[in-house]
Amino acid sequence: MSKSVDFFFGIGSRYSFLASTRMDALEQETGCTVVWRPLYSSALMLKRGMHPFRQPKPPSGQYDWRYRRYDAECWAAYYGIPYVEPRDGIREYAHYGLACVAADRMGACAAFSKALFQAVFTEGRDDVDENEITAIAGRVGLDGGAFLAMIDDDQTAALHEKNVDDAIAAGAFGVPSFVCEGRMLWGNDRLALLRDFLTRDDPDAYPRRAP
C-alpha cells in the first residue's frame, strides 16, 4: 500500500524550497503520496515557544544567515537547480502561508506553492505582492477573484492553524518536516532517510517518535 507523507513547509524557508524540488521525484521513486501542508514557520516556532531567529544571537552557527545562504547554495548546486537568496524584509511570508492554504482549499496547493517558491528563490522576485500572488494563482488554473477572497477568510486561517497544530503534535519544530506513519524527519537533508524508510523491507527499523 502506498504510504502518505505529510510535507510541512513554509514559503519563507530556503530549505523548504530545496525540499520542494525533490517531492515529485520522491513520489515517483517510492510510490508514496506527498500531502503538501503549508504554514508560516514563525507561527510554528512561536507556538512551540522556541524561535531561534528571534534571539539576540543565533544559538548556534547553523542559524547564522551567512552560513544558511552558503549552505543553501551548496544544496542547490548538488540538486542542479538555480537558487537566488531573497533579500530580507521585503516579503509577507505569513500572507504567503495563507495563500498556499487557500490554494490547497481550491485543489492546487502543490502547483501554486511550486510557482511561488520559484518566484522567490529561483527568479529572486522582489515584487511578489498581492497582485503577483493572484497572477500566480491564475497561471496554475485558479480563479483569481475567488482565490484572493479566500486568502483572508476565517476558514483559511483555521486550516492554517490546524497545519501548525498537526505539525507540533507530530513533533515538528521547524520546516521542512516530513511525517509518515508516526515518524517525523526534519530538514531537507533528511530526505535520504525518508526515501530509505519509504522503500525498505523493514520500515519498523525506524523508531517512532518518543511520546
With respect to residue 66, please indicate whether it lies within any of the assigned structural domains.
yes
Quick check: 54 pLDDT over 80?
no
**Percent share of the chain, pLDDT over 90:** 82
Of the listed ranges 31-40, 109-118, 119-128, the least confidently predicted one is 119-128
| Position 10 confidence tier, pLDDT thresholds 50, 70, 90 | very high
**How many domains does one find in the chain?**
1
Q: Is residue 176 reached through a cis peptide bond, with omega within 30 degrees of 0 on the bond before it?
A: yes
Report CA-CA distances (Å) from 6 to 15, 37, 167, 210: 16, 6, 9, 18
Strands across the sheet containing 183-186: 33-38, 4-9, 177-180, 183-186
With respect to residue 187, please indicate whether it lies within any of the assigned structural domains.
yes
With respect to residue 98, please indicate whether it lies within any of the assigned structural domains.
yes
With respect to residue 211, please indicate whether it lies within any of the assigned structural domains.
no
With respect to residue 51, please indicate whether it lies within any of the assigned structural domains.
yes
With respect to residue 210, please indicate whether it lies within any of the assigned structural domains.
no
With respect to residue 21, please indicate whether it lies within any of the assigned structural domains.
yes
With respect to residue 31, please indicate whether it lies within any of the assigned structural domains.
yes
CATH number of the domain bearing residue 21? 3.40.30.10
Structure-model confidence comparison of residues 58 and 81, the more confident one: 81
Domain that holds residue 10: 4-205
How do residues 152-209 score in pLDDT, each as one tens digit? 999 999 999 999 999 999 999 999 999 999 999 999 999 999 999 999 999 999 999 7
Cα three-residue angle 66-26-158, rounded to 5 degrees: 75
pLDDT at position 60 is: 65
Q: Average pLDDT in the 103-118 region?
A: 98
pLDDT at position 53 is: 63
Quick check: 211 pLDDT over 60?
no
What rounded mean pLDDT belongs to the chain?
93
